[in-house]
Structure 1
Amino acid sequence: MRLVRTLSALALSAVAVVTGGALASAAPLAVNYAALGDSYAAGVGTAGSYDNSCDRNAKSYPSLWASAHSVSNFTFVACSGAKTSDVINNQVGSLSSANTVVTVTIGGNDAGFTSVMGSCILGGDSGCRTAVDNATNFVNNSLPGLLDNTYRAIRSHAPNATVYVLGYPRFYQLGGSCSVGLSDTSRGLINGGADSLDSVISAAAGRAGFRFVDVRSNFTSHGICSSSWWINSVSWPVVNSYHPNASGYASGYLPALSSATG
């Protein structure tokens, strides 16, 4: 009987060791998160005023995701007005081999987002078509190389991270009446430009081995001129114009990123 008790004790000890090891291995890994990009990553569109030169704020999708996932370290360097060159020159230096997750939204400013909207508002359908066509030509022919360089820089500085590239929403809900001054023709042209931009960004992300996060379906029925806007039209302060509002980041961007990251 003593031998049986001894063997039983040894068996229980072995089970405890194995179980303890399994529990230890199942413990969640620390998340070291860095957020790069432009105003869409910074969270522009949500605040009446901003307390830093980059317009970063707590209602941005990176801040919301970091809070929801209890990250161990959060580096937030996205900046309003940033282009691909700014990510390379001013943002990737904040990355390191310790990063496990990196997000980025970039490319809209390279494509002349602000000037396109100005042309569409002031130039009518003809001016809008010319502006969108010029921007789309740049997006298709020049932006891919700029994105490739940017994504290589991100990978070089954060070799161990899973990188998520978030795109841009379509701005407008087409059809019906809307008092923002643009025709459905111009609204459709602008939406088509957003689709071209997302297509090129998605392809570049794929070449880099990054994951593209498409937010467009989340914004369906919530564009400008819908019954429930998640994107600002012309707003005050002006910087908020044509950016998601708080609902856009919380209900559009955050669920898309959370779904992608699991």
Structure 2
Amino acid sequence: MTSTRPRSLRSALVGAAALALTLGFAPAASAAPSAPSDVVAGGEPIDYVALGDSYSAGPLVPAQRPDPLGCLRSTNNYPAFLAGYFRVRSYVDVTCSGAQTADLDRRRQETIVPGPKPAPQIDALSAETDLVTVGIGGNDRKLFGSMIEVCEAVAKLDAKGAPCRRHFTNRRGVDTKLRDATKIQANVARVLRAVARRAPAAEVYVVGYPRLLPQRGTCKAVKFAAGDYRWGNRIEKRLNRSLRRAAAATGATYVNLYPASRGHDACAGKEAWINGSTLRPLRAANFHPFLRGMRGAAQEIYRRLTGGRTAPGHVVAQPPLGSTIR
């Protein structure tokens, strides 16, 4: 998500992205039309567009696409897996790390790694688009970025308490993070209405955020004070509620990743879908999905889109030959 980017984090991401580009990037590719899907849209070929922020883009998950490198977009993100599962006719991935809702429909985004500013993401949509996934919201109002930064900074001040929650509670007793997570609903609803206007025939799926923190307990991988784990969960649940309500209000479908990601939070060790506090070049940005998290999200989205079917095994996480990506 990465909305608030202190200099140290921005520098780390820039360096890690450069390493990823050197050691493992993949160019965009195109070829002739592929075989039609027999799963979605009545067996007709699918034109798929993916919109969203870093939880959709996959920062530092190999291999990173250079188009543009500043978006830190992986060839192994969940949209790429979905494109492979459905054997889509065309696939356009304009997800971009750091994106806010305004970057989807109103402005050119400033990327994490300096470079050309991508056009508003909905420019990728058209009347021919059949399927749209949207994963957005966590960067608005600096919701997650500032929370993570502050929670790690104040943890030692009260290791057994909830100093981060106190920091974001104002003098009137208002939890500003819960307040902001609620207000983001209106931003997401606006974007979804814009998506519907650009792609009136498309089925639109709003993808929620997977579990970042465990339901109980703490771990060394996440440098929060003990009491802020539970509070952090409340913020994420409130944000996901806002996404669900925005989807319901605009005729889109919400995909809840919370149940599927149970036991796969940042404290789950080898089972974790989400990285913890340490940025890991060629694996994942801090507090972002690993490759296994992207695959897990794609499998759950596929299950939801197909009425409970299991995703095909041994599918390469890129569009099959015949798709067009950009």
Give the shorter-chain TM-score range: 0.7 to 0.9
1:200 aligns with one of 230, 235, 242: 242
Q: What is residue 31 of structure 1 aligned with on the other side?
A: 46
Per the TM alignment, residue 98 of structure 1 is displaced from its structure 2 partner at its CA by 0.3
Indicate which of 95, 102, 117 corresponds to 1:85.
102
What amino acid is the match of 1:248?
G
Q: Provide closer, same or farther for how the CA distance between residues 98 and 115 of structure 1 changes in structure 2, counting only shifts above 3 A.
A: same
Aligned match of 1:127 in 155, 161, 164?
Answer: 164
- 1:138 partnered with 2:159: no
Residue 167 (structure 1) aligns with: 208
Give secondary structure in 1 for the equivalent of 2:70. Answer: coil
- When Rg is computed on C-alpha atoms for both structures, the one with the higher figure is 1
- More helix per residue: 1
Which of 276, 279, 283 aligns to 1:233? It is: 276
How far apart, CA to CA, are the structure 1 residues paired with 2:190 and 2:72? 25
- Determine the C-alpha separation between the residues in 2 that align with 1:258 and 1:233: 26
CA distance 1:143–1:70, change in 2 (3 Å): same
Alpha-carbon distance, 1:129 to partner: 4.2
Residue 163 of structure 1 deviates from its aligned partner by 0.2
How many residues were matched structurally? Answer: 235
- Distance in 2, matches of 1:55 and 1:222, equals 23
Deviations 1:212-246 (A, max 9, x none): 00001111111122242110012134970101101
Look up the equivalent residue of 1:117 and give its one-letter code.
I
Counterpart CA distance in 2 for 1:129 and 1:231 is: 25
- Do the aligned residues in 1 keep the contact of 2:211 with 2:264 (CA within 8 Å)? no
Give a deviation string over 1:55-90, Cα, whole Å, max 9, x none.
Answer: 111110000100111000001111110000000131
Find the aligned partners of 1:155 and 1:187 in 2 and give their Cα distance. 37
Percent of matched pairs sharing the same residue: 29
The match for 1:250 among 284, 289, 295 is: 295
Match of 1:54 among 43, 67, 71: 71
Residue type of the alignment partner of 1:169: P
* Deviation at residue 208 of structure 1 after TM alignment: 0.5
- CA deviations 1:32-68 (Å, max 9, x no partner) are 0000011111122523866321111111000010011
Deviation (angstroms), 1:177: 5.4
1:130-180 deviations in whole A, cap 9, x for unaligned?
33832221121x312211211111000000000000010221124455213
Rate the CA distance shift 1:49–1:95 in 2: closer, same or farther, 3 A. Answer: closer
Alignment gaps of 5+ in structure 2: 1-40, 107-119, 156-161, 170-174, 307-326
Residue identity opposite 2:132 in structure 1? V
Change (3 A) 1:224 1:138: same
Secondary structure in 2 matching 1:53: helix
User: For the aligned residues, what is the CA RMSD?
Assistant: 2.1
The 8 Å contact of residues 231 and 243 in structure 1, kept in 2 or not, is answered as: yes
